[in-house]
Structure 1
Amino acid sequence: MTTEKHLIEKKYYETFLNGDPKVAPIQVLGEAYMEEQKKDIPDLSAIRFAQGEVYFHYKDFEAAIFKWENIQNEWEPWAKKNMADAYFELGLLPTAEEIYKSIATEDMTLQTEIALHLFSLYIRQKNSESASQVIKETVSQNPDYENVTALARSFFEEHQDWSSAIELAWDEAIRLESVEWYDAMIGYAGKGVTQIKEPVFFEEGLFILARVDSERFEKLSSALWNNFKKSEAHLSWVMVMDRVITRIASENVGSWNTLSGLYEESYLSLINGTHLISEVGAAIPSLLTNWMKICVSSHALAAAAAVISWNEMFPRTLDSSTVYEAENRLLELEKQTNGYDEAVRLSNEVLHWANKHDLHVTKSLTWIMNAIKNQDSYKLLVVGTDESGKSTCINSMVGNPILPEDNKALVLLDYDEQPGIREIADSEIIEVERIEEQPSFRYQRSYHAKLDSSFLQKHRISFMDTPSINDSNEVLSCLHAADGVLFVLNANNPFTEKEQQVLQQIKEKMPNMDIHFLLNKMDAVYDDQDQTIVETKTKVKSNMPNAGVFAFSPHYEENSQGSDFGKFFAAHYKQKNLIAGRTTNLLYFIRRLIVYLLNKRIEKENSLVDSIKWNEEMVSKLNGAIHQIGDKEVEKVRSISRGYQSIKSKMKAELLEKIPQILRGCSEYIQENSDFGKLHLELNDEMNHQVESYLTETALPEYYQLIQNWIQESTAEFNEVQFTINEMCDSFNALYDEDKLQLDCDFKVLDDWRRDADRLTTAIHWEKMNILLRFTPSQFLLKSAGKLLGNITQNKTMIYNKYKQYVETEDYHEAAALIVNRFLQPFELFEKSIERDIRIFFRNPLAILNQTVEESRREISSNKDALSKMRENPEWYQDPLTFFELKLRQNEWLDQKESKIPV
């Protein structure tokens, strides 16, 4: 055992035993101590150091400390470390920590031992932070020290300090090129914890691993890739892998099937419409180049198609050698998948993207794509002229007169236990009762009819009926939705020049499409059936040598003919390889969808511009209407108020004139034999009575009639206003193309006026007034004279004449004014409400117009924001569609490999 190991294990004392295990260490050391003391200059440090070790092993820690604390020569650092160990064993951890930290030494072994003991001390104290710091420093300074890295790894894993564990394993893997540490990294990646590091952290280590162990390189790279592929660092990771693969020598590239699949998966995810070209465009050429470098046979065709498609869309971004290699592979390799699933995924991606961005996709397009994806039945497209009777023929087969005789719509007939008909409109799919007979000049309609038909169910056929080939090209646009074509001919005049032209167009458009013929209306050529069939087959064979011809009449026994056609269908139409054709068809409609969305972008921008301009014009028109109605309101407030004021003024003038006359007329109540002592009281009562009677019986009815006339005139004015507003409203609704505005004025105002007129003119609440009893000199003298002289007969005539004269000549203006003011007070209160009521009459139209202005302004602002974003960042719309087209082109290349159909 070396001295260093003796010191570490506290067995330095064994050097005094001369290899004799039977000797007692205490005795030997005691004897050595006594011998050393006999020397002139004794050095007891080594003996005391060894004695301390023995006491330590016997757990006499205090004795051990006593021996060690007096050592001051070269043994001192180890002695202090041993003292700290003893305090540690005694549980005096702060003292132990203080001593460990106080030791100054250049000895790397001692430094490491001190650090490891501090590490243990911190663990016992549950001070994970300090323990982590100590073990990291120890690994950094002396990583080759026994068990240091193992201790660190165990500690980090136990405390789930994955960042530190990953750093340790990665540093050791690179330093030692150790597969064990790389295996540890594979484990961490499997736990999914490696994504806490930036991808660039792994770059150099992966490059080294590719040289050390190719198989492990794929395992670790794939595990890390799976960690990063769903994170924001995905693109950074791909770029790191590209740099690594680029540096790897060709001889170190293994059969990396998993890694090749991840390259394909990442490439497709980067072009799935969620990234812009500016974000990923620079990285993809390198990705494709390295994918080609490492791909195995199962991914080689996809990689080659991706390279060629990218080069088509973005020329000169790939090295020519990479493109050349891809072209050769595309020619040499056999296609291993049909591409149908990829086409379905792509269609779903495009539709999801359109829906996410609120882009309306016509229902007819999504409906036909869904029909292609439905693999429950064979889609047989039935074509023919008006004279062929194809619709009647289909009705006969399915056992339901579902199709009109001259069908001009695209109709898909499917089997379903729950029958129903749906019309496929541009923006919605609606349930309908029947398929309409539609004039040829109308827009093309589509229907999906589900029938409980035993024929459709038994033979798993779906018929697609189209408008006749006489006046429509709809047949050609429907070819990509069909699995095969049934060409219906009229037995009276089979295979006309027009029919041959259409057949040629179908063959040019879909050269691999199964096309066979049905010779209809055989009952019309009953006597020449055999000859007609032979001649028709001859004509057909000259154009299509492999085409079959089936003789049919809707008037023959249905079940027999249906069964025979079922056999004909099974014999002539290829149903085993439908998926390849469906892939081609689906890709065709995906391209139509992408083109549609590209046009939709332009249409949407133009629509926003038009909407902004239209709404601005509408705001101008609406504001003009608001001002016009506001002017009307001011005008009516003025004219109607003046009308009422004129009535009130007229009544007031009439009352001020009439009431004094009534009061003077009360002189007739005065008689020579009147009791002049009380006459002034009686005469005052009479005057009140006469005025009240006049107001009630004459003034109120007259006022009532005048107000009624005023209300009638106001009604006429209001009706005129409403008529004008209605014309205005109709104009606006015509512009909006809907009944958006309802500008109804509040005619309840007139009902309120009529009610108030009735209330004000039905009766008056008369309170007796002091007309004659007011304190004036004339009245005072008369009342006094009446009381003093009224009982003297010779004075009565004089008093009578005086009273008579006074009553007949009195001014009464002041009294009349008081009476009129009191009488007109409620009418004046009514007058004050007229302006408010007129404004209430106009309130609803003005409120609606102002609200519509605000709505238009909000829409203008919203559209301007949307337009600004579209123009500022056209790539947000354009780039995803470019990537979708790139994906489509890749699928078309793969499909072309299978179908040999030119795209």
Structure 2
Amino acid sequence: MTLEHQLIKKTFYETFVGANEKDPVRVLGEAFLAGHKEGTDDISAIRFAQGEVYFHNKDYEAAIFKWENIHNDLEPWAKKNIADCYYELGQLSTAEEIYKSIDTESSVLRSEVALQLFSLYVDQGSLEKADQVIKKAVSLNPDYPNVTDIARAFFEKHKDWKSAIELAVNEAIRTESYHWFDILKTYAERGLTNIFEPHYFSKCLVVLYGVDQTRFEQMVQVLWKGYKNEDSYFSWLREFNHLFLNLDANRGQSWKELSALYQETYFELIDGTYLMKELAEIIPNLLTNWLKIADYSHALFASAAVLAWSEKFPSSIRPEVVNDAENLIFHSRNETDGLEYSLALFDSIVKWAEEQHVDPGHRFRWIIRELVDFQTHHLLVAGTSGNGKSAFINSVLGENILTAPTSSVIVFKGDEETEIRKISDEELTTFSSFHEFQEAVDRRLNKGSDNAIIEFSLPSPILQENRLALIDTPGFSGRNGMEGEALKYLHFADSLLFVLDANDPFTEKEEEILMQIRKYAPNLPIHFLLNKIDEIYDEQEAARMIDDTRSRVWAYFPQAKVFAYSSHVRSRKQQSDLAEFLKNVSRQIAEDDRIEKLLIFIRKLIMHLLDKRAEMENSLAESIKWNEEMVAKLSGAIHQLTDLKKEKARIITRTFHKVLEEIRSDLSENIPKILRDCSDMIQEDSDFRKIHLELNDEMNRRVHAYINDKVLPEFYRSLQEWIVTANDELDHCQSFLDEMSDGFNAMYGEERLKLKCDFKVLDDWCRDADRMTSGVQLEKVNIFLRRTPYQILLKSAGMLFGAFQQNNEMLYNKYKQLVENQDYLDVTESIMNKLLLQFELFEKSLERDISIFFRNPFDVLNQMVEETKKEIREKEEELEKMRANPQNYRDPLTLFEVKLRQYEWITISARGVLRV
């Protein structure tokens, strides 16, 4: 046993007494006494040994006493032992102080002191100090027995995963031990390693690669999956792929799990979620690494992915990697379900488009659905204009359906019931009648094409028996050549039947068109129908012409079938040849061909969505401009309406005021006259003591009678005439607003504006006119009882002299003179004010009433202005967003295109022909 081990275990005393000594205290006491007497140098060693014996017997005070007097090389160990005693005695502060005071060059002693301090701090609950001291112990001597295990247990117990992972990484790198790599892997599986940036594990992975590649692959997997849903995922991909790029991994080793992980990651990255700027520096290294380790089950995808990416982004992948991919793709086992992948790609594009609020269109959905129907053969019937293509189709269908040159693509399908549908990008429309169908396809009525397909399902035995769909397109002409609808749907067809005119078959123009077709769709089988054979009367000439046409056709299309046909004269042989042709051709549906067609239309869909983006931007810009013009027009309409309201208020108020002034003039003229005429009631025999009272009553009565019997009826008639005039003016306003509504609605293309005025105002005016002129009860006016000096004098005279008959003549003359000569202006004004007060108030309310009349049109126009301005703001924000971040739309489509090209490469490899 080494000295250090004895010192650790406190068994140094066995050096003096032996391991089997029964009474080491006695033996050491005797040795100490002998040494003391002899004065030997070993007495300190004996004293140290005595301290150990006392310690083991829990006589800590005696042990401390012995160790305090050690002054040789054992002094540091003695101090450590003294601290141990205080630790055992529970005097932790004293023990800590002594432990920390020990100064020694012995790494073993330093480790032992550190471990003791660690235990002490744990007992004290000073976890921070315990953490510091155990980390120091590990860094001081990681090979010291159990120190790393103790540290790991402490970190795990207190869930200090950062420290635990650091310990595992450092020890794995230092020791290259499977044990520590496996511990680190366990942490990664629990998702604990994500707290570190990915580069932290690079050195550890490099070391593990050199130690055990199987464990390396497993470690990479768990780290990869751990970072997958974290913000640092792309950092991991960059870091690891840069690291792996410099390792000597290759396909000769087994990397099945990592290869699968590369494939899964690659497809996730290009699913349209990320932008190109995020992927540009990641994908090339990822693909390079994938290709160099791809096992046989992933080699096809890896090589196709490299080729697709390098085509879209030249120079992003090293040429030697691209060459490796080109060699590998044609030597890889192709067990890919191309149909499943193609449909999944189509669905993902459609889903993405819908999330972008862009409708991919019914037409593409319909085309894809038809292409996955492997039971139905699509036969495209084509030919130049005038060759009798429509007549042939009619004869096959047994109905005269095509009666004029068509502007649309029509797909005839066999079904139990007749149904005609129009499939466009925007909508699905079912025609309710055959006439409606004819109008929709007549080229003379439809000059432009809207990309629509007409699906014509009908009970047709020949189509149903052969599981056949006939595709009719507008005929080729010298004007449009190959630019018509036929070109767009060549890839929809499984085969093509080209109709020739027997009178002039296989012309130079037809040969040119057919060469373009073969160039555009090189794998499309092409057959020929020699139509109008009945127009050649000489049978020998007909036979010669058929043979000559076959020879010319076979020079270009050696696999083509050529047969003669007449749409007007049917023969048994002709029907037999046609039946045999349709039967044979309908069997020719190759799944690889259909998959290739699916990919072609998926590419068309991507281009369609790119065009849609440009259309959306242009549409938004045009909509903003149009709405701005509409705001200007609506604002102009509001100004017009304001002017109209002011004008009508002025006219209606002025005409009412004129009526009022006429009544006022009449009252001003007639009331004084009526009052003066009241003098006729004054007689010489009148009782002049109360004549003034009688005069006052009579005057009020006559004025009231005049007002109620003459003025108000006349006023009523005048108001009715005024209301008729006002009604005409307001009717004119409504007519003007109706025209304005029609104009705006014509611009909107829908009934959005209804500028209806409130004619209830007229009803209110009628009621008010009737109410105000139905009779009034004016308060009695003090006409003749006023306290004017003359009236007071005269009334006093009447009271004084009225009792004497001889004075009546004098009073009569005076009263007569007074009544007849008064001007009554103030009385008249008072009566008029009381009578006309309500009419004046009515006049003042006219402007408010006219505002009420126009209130709804103003509200509607102002609301339209606000709604339009809001729409402008929203569309400006949308357009700005689209223009500011075009990559948000274009990048996903670019990635879909890369994925599509990858599938195209896989399809090419299946054919075994290099075709870019």
* Cα separation, 2, equivalents of 1:864 and 1:245: 48
**Matching of residues 762-781 of structure 1 within 5 Å:** 762-781=774-793
Instruction: Report the residue type matching 2:378 in the other structure.
Output: L
> 1:884, CA displacement in angstroms?
2.9
In structure 2, the partner of 1:744 is 756
Corresponding residue SS for 1:582: helix
Match of 2:908 among 875, 896, 903: 896
State the shift of 1:584 in Å. 0.9
Residues 260, 295 of structure 1: 8 Å contact kept: yes
How has the CA–CA distance of structure 1 residues 353 and 688 changed in structure 2, closer, same or farther, with 3 Å as cutoff?
same
Call closer, same or farther: CA 1:81–1:743 in 2, change over 3 Å: farther
Deviation digits for residues 106-134 of structure 1 (CA, Å, limit 9, x no counterpart): 43223322332343344455555444333
Local SS of the residue matching 2:489: helix
CA distances 1:279-316 after superposition (whole Å, capped 9, x unpaired): 33244333333333333343333333333333333333
CA distance in structure 1 between the aligned counterparts of 2:43 and 2:797, rounded to whole angstroms: 159
For 2:32 and 2:583, the matched residues in 1 are separated by 114
After superposing the two structures, state which structure 1 stretch, 111-120 or 682-691, moved more.
111-120
Alpha-carbon offset, residue 146 of structure 1: 1.4
Equivalent in 572, 584, 587 of residue 573 of structure 1: 587
Q: Deviations over 1:810-859 (max 9, x none)?
A: 22111111111111111122122112222222333233333333333333
Counterpart CA distance in 2 for 1:752 and 1:273 is: 67
- Residues 381 and 497, structure 2, Cα contact 8 Å, conserved in 1: yes
Q: Deviations for 1:177-219, whole angstroms, at most 9, x for unmatched residues?
A: 2333222233333333323221211222222322332222222
Letter in 1 for 2:800: L
Where does 1:231-380 land on structure 2 (aligned, <5 Å)? 231-249=230-248, 254-372=253-371, 374=372, 377-378=375-376, 380=378
Alignment partner, residue 108 of structure 2: 109
Q: Structure 2 length normalisation: TM-score?
A: 0.83
Question: Any idea what SS the aligned residue of 2:297 has?
Answer: helix
1:582 is aligned, of 562, 573, 594, to: 594
Cα RMSD (Å) = 4.5
Distance 1:54 1:450 in 2: 108
Change in Cα spacing, 1:266 to 1:251, as seen in structure 2 (3 Å) is closer
Letter aligned with residue 383 of structure 1: V
1:784 is matched by which residue type in structure 2? S
Cα deviation for residue 338 of structure 1 reads 4.7
One-letter code of the match for 1:8? I
Over 3 Å counting, the alpha-carbon distance change for 1:711 and 1:9 in structure 2 is farther
Cα distance, 1:62–1:789 mapped onto 2, change above 3 Å: farther
> CA contact under 8 A between 2:12 and 2:52: conserved in structure 1?
yes
Is 1:725–2:732 an aligned residue pair? no
Query: Is the contact made by 1:390 and 1:488 (CA closer than 8 Å) also made in structure 2?
Result: no
Counterparts of residues 85-164 of structure 1 (less than 5 Å): 85-86=84-85, 88-89=87-88, 96-97=95-96, 99-124=98-123, 128-164=127-163
Q: Distance in 1 between matches of 2:582 and 2:31?
A: 116
Change over 3 Å in CA distance of 1:194–1:666 after alignment to 2: same
Residue of structure 2 equivalent to 1:525 = none
Tell me how far apart the structure 1 counterparts of residues 461 and 45 of structure 2 sit (CA, whole Å): 108
1:382-461 paired onto structure 2 within 5 Å? 383=381, 386-388=389-391, 390=393, 423-429=422-428, 436-437=437-438, 438-441=440-443, 442=446, 443=449, 445-446=452-453, 461=467
2 CA distance for matches of 1:72 and 1:718? 125
Corresponding residue number in structure 2 for 1:172: 171
Distance 2:54 2:102 in 1: 22
Letter of the 2:587 counterpart: Y
How many angstroms does 1:759 deviate by? Answer: 2.0
The answer as to whether partners of 1:744 and 1:844 remain within 8 angstroms in 2 is yes
Q: Distance in 1 between matches of 2:563 and 2:65?
A: 116
Instruction: Show CA shifts across 1:877-900 (max 9, x none).
Output: 443333333332232222222244
2:420 and 2:456 in contact (8 A); partners too: yes
Contact 1:383 1:465 in 2 (8 A): yes
Q: Structure 1 stretch 512-521 or stretch 330-339: which is displaced more?
A: 512-521
Contact 2:412–2:455 (CA under 8 A) maintained in structure 1: yes
Aligned-residue offset at 1:144: 1.4
* Alignment partners' CA distance in 2, 1:354 and 1:330: 32
For residues 808-827 of structure 1, the aligned pairs below 5 Å read 808-827=820-839
Alignment correspondent of 2:385 = none
Distance in 2 between residues matched to 1:414 and 1:65, nearest whole Å: 108
Structure 2 CA distance, aligned partners of 1:613 and 1:670?
86
Q: Would the aligned equivalents of 2:408 and 2:485 in 1 still touch at CA under 8 Å?
A: no
The residue aligned with 2:489 is 478
Q: Deviations over 1:729-769 (max 9, x none)?
A: 33322222222222223332222222222222222232222
Deviations 1:212-254 (A, max 9, x none): 3222222222322222344333332222223212322368973
Amino acid at match of 1:573: R
Is the contact made by 2:758 and 2:853 (CA closer than 8 Å) also made in structure 1?
yes
CA contact (8 A) 1:488 1:517 kept: yes
The alpha carbon displacement at 1:773 in A equals: 1.5
User: In 2, distance between residues paired with 1:11 and 1:697?
Assistant: 144
Counterpart secondary structure, 2:298: helix
Partner of residue 865 from structure 2, selected from 853, 864, 885 = 853
- Offset at 1:644? 2.3
Is the aligned partner of 1:680 residue 2:692? Answer: yes
Tell me the amino acid that sits aligned with residue 13 of structure 2. Answer: Y
Partner of 2:6: 6
Q: What secondary structure sits across from 2:773 in the alignment?
A: helix
Distance 1:332 1:493 in 2: 52
The alignment status of 1:696 with 2:708, answered yes or no, reads yes
Structure 1 residues 451 and 181, CA gap change in structure 2 (3 angstroms): farther
Match of 1:594 in 2: 606
- Does the CA contact (< 8 Å) of 1:304 and 1:327 recur in 2? yes
- For residues 545-624 of structure 1, the aligned pairs below 5 Å read 545=559, 573-574=587-588, 577-578=590-591, 580-624=592-636
Alpha-carbon distance change, 818 to 89 in structure 1, aligned in 2, over 3 angstroms: farther
Deviations, residues 77-106 of structure 1 (Å, cap 9, x unaligned)? 444544554555566656655554454444
How much does 1:466 deviate? 3.8
Aligned to 2:223: 224
Contact 1:162 1:193 (8 Å CA) reproduced: yes
Tell me how far apart the structure 1 counterparts of residues 202 and 459 of structure 2 sit (CA, whole Å).
Answer: 64
Q: Which amino acid aligns with 2:247?
A: I
Please tell me whether the aligned partners of residues 670 and 803 of structure 1 are also in contact (alpha carbons under 8 angstroms): yes
SS in 1 for 2:378: strand
Letter in 2 for 1:830: F
Q: Per-residue deviation at 1:606? A: 2.5
Indicate yes or no: 2:651 matched with 1:649. no
Contact 1:308–1:323, Cα closer than 8 Å, also in 2: yes
Q: What residue in structure 1 maps to residue 815 of structure 2?
A: 803
Q: Is the 8 A contact 2:378 2:470 kept in 1?
A: yes
Of 647, 650, 666 in structure 2, the residue corresponding to residue 635 of structure 1 is: 647
Distance 1:749 1:342, change over 3 A: same
Range 768-777 or range 538-547, more displaced:
538-547
The one-letter amino acid paired with 2:184 is M
Structure 1 length normalisation: TM-score?
0.84
What is the aligned residue count? 882
Kindly indicate whether the alpha-carbon contact (under 8 Å) linking 1:514 and 1:574 is maintained by their aligned counterparts in 2. Answer: no
Shift in alpha-carbon separation, 1:251–1:854, aligned structure 2, 3 A:
closer
- 502-511 or 218-227, which deviates more: 502-511
Measured against aligned partners, the alpha-carbon deviations of 1:597-649 in whole angstroms (never above 9, x if no partner) come to 22233323333332333233223222222222222222233332222222222
* SS of 2:746 mapped into structure 1: helix
Which whole-Å CA distance do the structure 1 matches of 2:238 and 2:205 have between them? 13
User: C-alpha separation between the residues in 1 aligned to 2:854 and 2:689?
Assistant: 63
Q: Is residue 892 of structure 2 the alignment partner of residue 880 of structure 1?
A: yes
Residue deviations 1:304-349 (CA, integer Å, cap 9, x gap): 3333333333333433333333333344445342533333333334
- For the 8 Å contact 1:199–1:236, the answer to whether it is kept is yes
